[in-house]
Structure 1
Amino acid sequence: MAKVVNYISDAFTELKSNVTWTTWAEVQRYTIIVAIFTVVLSLATWGVDTLFADALAGFFNLLNS
């Protein structure tokens, strides 16, 4: 059990002293970039899905005619 406590203590020490944290402004900027990219990628996926659905519907309508 002492090993586990020592490991957790060392992990917190590492986070406090050796990790370089980004500034709040950078976090906000990156969050906005990720949100915009997510919306654009979602719209592109929706568009391709709609295109293929319409193409398949047209193809099966040709087969049924």
Structure 2
Amino acid sequence: MAKVVNYITEAFEELKMNVSWPAWSEVQRLTIVVAVFSVLFALATWGVDTVFARVLGVFFNWLKA
């Protein structure tokens, strides 16, 4: 158990000392960029799904006739 505690302690120490963290303004800007692209990608996926659903619906209705 001591090895696990030592590992976690060293990991936190490395995060504090050796990692260069971005400025808070850059974090906010990049968060907005990720949120915007996530929404755009979700809308694109929804649009493609809707188009394919309608095309398949027309295709299967055509097969029934």
Shorter-chain TM-score: which interval?
Answer: 0.7 to 0.9
> What stretches of structure 1 of length at least 5 have no aligned partner?
none
Aligned residues: 65
Q: Which range moves more in the overlay, 4-13 or 38-47? A: 4-13
TM-score by length of 1: 0.88
Deviation at 1:10, TM superposition (A): 1.7
Q: What is the alpha-carbon root mean square deviation over aligned residues?
A: 1.2
Equivalent position of 1:53 in the other structure:
53
SS in 2 for 1:3: helix
- What is the alpha-carbon distance in structure 1 between the residues aligned to residue 56 and residue 3 of structure 2? 60
Structure 1 stretches of 4+ with a deviation exceeding 6 A read none
TM-score by length of 2: 0.88
Deviation at 1:16, TM superposition (A): 1.3
SS in 2 for 1:57: helix
Identity in percent: 65
> What stretches of structure 2 of length at least 5 have no aligned partner?
none
Deviation at 1:61, TM superposition (A): 1.0
